Chain A
Amino acid sequence: MNSIKTPTKIYSSEDFPTYLPKLNALYDDLFKDGKGFRAKLVQRIGSKIALEQNVIALLAQTVEFIHNASLLHDDLIDHSVLRRGKPAAWTKYTPEYAVLAGDYLLARVMVNLSSHGNVRLIQRTAKAISDLLEGEWIQDSLVKDFGISLKDLDRVHDLKTGALFKLCLSAPFIAKERYDEKLLSRLEECGTLLGLLFQRSDDLLDFDIRNDEGKAVLGDLKSGYLNSFAVWVLRDLPTSTFNEAVRSQSLGEFISRVGEGHFAERAAAFDIENQKLIDLYFHRLDGVRECLEPSEVSVIEDLKGLPKPLYWRKREG
C-alpha cells in the first residue's frame, strides 16, 4: 500500500485556518509520523472500484481525521505522554488544545462530508464516530478491572477499533451509492474481524511480541488495563500468581511471575486462536466477492493481504 499517495491534511480550503494560533503546528506534529494505514486502505479500495479521485481524497481524510481525533483524546484520557515517539499533543500544547483539536477534526469531517452531499455516507460516518466513542467510554470504565473476559474485551474492541475498519471497508461503496445491504453487512463483518486482529496484534506489542516499531512495553498493564493478550496469558492461572502478575512493573517481572514456559506457550496459542479469525475473515471475503461487480473483484486480492500487515505486522511484498 505504500505506493498510494498519503492524503494531505487539506481537503477544503477552509480546513485549518491560519489565523488560529498553534492549530497548524499541532496538526503537523500529529500527522507527520502517522502511517496513514486506514487512509491508504480507503484509497486502495476506492481506486479499485473506480471511485472519483476527489471522493477518495475526502474519504481518506475522513478516516484519518477520525483516527487522529481519537488519538488526541485517547492520549489525554490515558495520560500517555508519548505518541509516535514524540510528546503527546496534550503535553506539548495543553490538554485544552488537545481536546479542542480533536473536536475540530471531527467537526471538519462533518463539514466536508456534508458538502459532498451523500446522506448515507454522513450517517455511516457519524455511526462510526459514535461507536468509537462508546468503545472508548466503556474501555475507560474498565480500568483496574482485572476480571474482564476476552469476549467482553472483543466487544469493546469491536466498537473502539473495529468501527473505523468497518468504515474504511464500507465507505467507498456507500460513496459510490452501492447500497446493497448484503454487501455492506459482509464488509462490516470483515471490518469487525480486522479490528479485532489489529487490536490483538497491538496488544501483543505491549508484551514486546513482534514489536518492530519499538513501542513502549507493558504500558496497558501498568496503567491498570488488562489487554486481550494479558487476559489470554493470565486465564486459568492460580489466583496468587494472577494477583502478583497484574502488579508487575516490567515485562521481565511479568514473565517471571507467570513462568517463561507458560508465557511462550500462551503466545503460540494466541496466534493459533487468531489464525481462526483470519480464516473466518477469508471466508467472509468470499461472501463479499459474490456481491461485487466483475470490474470490482480485484479489490478482494487487496483485502486478502490485510491480515499480514495488521496481525502479523509484516510488510507487504
Chain B
Amino acid sequence: MSSVVSDSTVPPRFLTLETGDPRLAPLLQGDLPTDLVSRASTLRPILIQSSPEWTFEFVSKESLRRPTSVWVWIMALRPDSLVLSVGPILAALGWLGAQAQASGQALDWVRALWTITGILALHASVNLFNDYHDHVRGWDRVRERGGSRVISRGWLRARDVHRAAWVGLMIAVVAGVPVVASNLSSGVLLVLFASVAVLEFAISHFGLKYKGFAEFAAWLMFGPLLTGGFVWSMTGELTWRSLALGATFGSIALLCLHLKNFERILSDGRAGLRTWPVRAGFDASKTFTYFVLGLISFSMALLVVLIDPVPERVLPILVLGFGLGPLAARVRGLESPLASRMRGLNAAGLRLAWFNLLAFLLGDSVRLFGGLLGAIL
C-alpha cells in the first residue's frame, strides 16, 4: 500500500508504506526516488505510536537545520561515550607507563597505539551499526531519546552510515592484527571483547539488553575484560591490578548504561522491552543506582588502598567525592518516568566518567613527568 495525501485542501506532505512494500527498503537506505522527492527536499520517518507501517514526512532540506557535515559525522560517532571504551585503555596505559618508568623498563608504545586505534575504530563502528539497525528496524521511531538520531533527523543517509560502520570495523580488524599476533592469548581475549561488543551493542544479537543483562555485560566488557586484556597484551601477564582497575571503570560503564536505560524506562516498558530498569521497576531502579554508586566507591577504594596506593590517586577520589553525591541527590529527587530531570541522566553519568578519566590521566602524568604532586603531598 502506498498513499500520498489525497485531501484536496492539503498539499502532499506524507507517505506511508507497509513493511512489505518494495519501495520501503531503498527509502530506508536513503535512496530517494526522484518521482517522489525533489532535489530540494527529503523524507524523514515520523512517529505515530509504534505502527507497523512507515510514515514519512516530506521535508524541505532548508527546514532541516542540519549542522555542517563534519559536525554531523562527529555526532554520529558519539564521542561523548568514548570515555567508556577508550577510557579504560588510557587509564591502564597511564598506569603501565608510570610503572615502566619506575622500574626502568620500556613500554611498547607502538602496540599501545595500535590498540587505541582499534578500540577507537571499534567504538565508531559499533555506534554507527547501532544507529543503522535502530533505523531500519524502526526502533528510532519508538524511542525518541537515545542514539545520535542522525538518520532519523534526515541528516545522513542510512546507506552512508552503514558503509562508514563497515569501514570502522575494517580499521579495527587491521589495527587488531599486530596486537593479536604479538600475544595470542591476550589477543583472543580482545577479539572476544570486540566480537561481543559488535554483536550485542551494535545489533543486539544476543538481546542481553532486553533480558536485563546488558548492565552486567557492560561492567565486564568495559571493565575487567578490557583492561585485563589490554595489560595482558602489553606485558604478557594477566594481573589482579589490571582487573581491579577494570572493576572501577566497569562500574562507571555500568552506571552509564543503567542511567541510559533508566531514562527510557517508560518507552521501553510501554514497548514491552524487558530492560533491567523495566524489570526492576522505577523505585528499585533508583535504589540500584545508589548500589552502583556504592560499587564505584568500593572499587575505587579497593584500587587506591590495596592495589595502587599512590598519592596521585587522590584526584579521582576527589572527582568521585564531588560527583557521586549530586548524582545520587538527582536520582533521589526523581518522581516520574517523564520528569525533566530524567533527561540527561546518562549524560550526567558520562560527565562523571570523563572527569574520572581525566583525574586518572592527570595523576599518571604527574607520576610520569616528575612526581610533582607526590613531592608536594
Known: A282-B7, A283-B16, A287-B3. A189 touches B340 (CB 8 A): no
CB pair B10–A279 under 8 Å, yes or no, is yes
- Name the residue in A149, A152, A156, A188 with the highest tally of chain B Cβ atoms < 10 Å from its Cβ: A152
B-binding segment of A40-48, A140-148, A209-217: A140-148
Chain A residue nearest to B145 (CB atoms) is A151
- A residues in contact with B144, CB < 8 Å: 151
Q: A308 to chain B: closest CB distance in Å?
A: 12
Is the CB of B338 closer than 8 A to any CB of chain A? yes
Is the CB of B268 closer than 8 A to any CB of chain A? no
CB pair A141–B335 under 8 Å, yes or no, is yes
Is the CB of B48 closer than 8 A to any CB of chain A? yes
Over the window 276-298 of chain A, the binary record of Cβ atoms lying under 8 Å from chain B Cβ atoms (1 yes, 0 no) is 10011011101100100000000
Over the window 233-258 of chain B, the binary record of Cβ atoms lying under 8 Å from chain A Cβ atoms (1 yes, 0 no) is 00000000000000000000000000
Is the CB of A249 closer than 8 A to any CB of chain B? no
CB pair B338–A192 under 8 Å, yes or no, is no
- A residues in contact with B7, CB < 8 Å: 279, 282-283, 286, 304
Is the CB of B266 closer than 8 A to any CB of chain A? yes
CB pair A279–B340 under 8 Å, yes or no, is no
CB pair B3–A280 under 8 Å, yes or no, is no
- B residues in contact with A158, CB < 8 Å: 49
Known: A141-B335, A290-B3. A189 touches B48 (CB 8 A): yes
- B residues in contact with A290, CB < 8 Å: 1, 3
Is the CB of B153 closer than 8 A to any CB of chain A? no
Q: A197 to chain B: closest CB distance in Å?
A: 13
CB pair B266–A192 under 8 Å, yes or no, is no
* Interface residues on chain B, size class: 20 to 34
Q: A15 to chain B: closest CB distance in Å?
A: 33
CB pair B48–A280 under 8 Å, yes or no, is yes
CB pair B338–A287 under 8 Å, yes or no, is no
* Interface residues on chain A, size class: 20 to 34
Over the window 1-13 of chain B, the binary record of Cβ atoms lying under 8 Å from chain A Cβ atoms (1 yes, 0 no) is 1010111001001
Known: A283-B5, A283-B14. A185 touches B336 (CB 8 A): no
**Majority secondary structure of chain A interface residues (helix, strand, loop or mixed):** helix
- A residues in contact with B55, CB < 8 Å: 280, 283-284
Q: A165 to chain B: closest CB distance in Å?
A: 12
Chain B residue nearest to A226 (CB atoms) is B340
- Name the residue in B10, B49, B52 with the highest tally of chain A Cβ atoms < 10 Å from its Cβ: B49
- A residues in contact with B10, CB < 8 Å: 279, 282-283
Over the window 329-346 of chain B, the binary record of Cβ atoms lying under 8 Å from chain A Cβ atoms (1 yes, 0 no) is 000000111111101000
- B residues in contact with A147, CB < 8 Å: 339-341, 343
Q: B51 to chain A: closest CB distance in Å?
A: 6
Is the CB of A155 closer than 8 A to any CB of chain B? yes
Chain A residue nearest to B18 (CB atoms) is A182
Rounded to whole angstroms, the CA-CA distance of A282 and B53 in the bound complex is: 16
Rounded to whole angstroms, the CA-CA distance of A279 and B6 in the bound complex is: 10
Q: A157 to chain B: closest CB distance in Å?
A: 11
Known: A158-B49, A283-B3. A141 touches B336 (CB 8 A): yes
The 7 closest A-B pairs by CB, nearest first: A147-B340, A141-B336, A283-B14, A282-B7, A152-B338, A189-B48, A286-B3
- Of the A-B pairs whose beta carbons lie under 8 Å apart in the complex, a sample of 12, sorted by A's number, is A138-B337, A141-B335, A141-B338, A147-B339, A147-B341, A151-B144, A280-B13, A282-B5, A283-B13, A284-B48, A286-B5, A287-B53
Residues of chain B at the chain A interface (Cβ within 8 Å): 1, 3, 5-7, 10, 13-14, 16, 46, 48-49, 51-53, 55, 144, 266, 335-341, 343
Taking A141-B335, A185-B52, A280-B46 as given, write out 9 further A-B residue pairs in contact, using a Cβ cutoff of 8 Å, ordered by the A residue number.
A141-B337, A149-B340, A279-B13, A280-B48, A282-B5, A282-B10, A284-B48, A287-B16, A290-B3
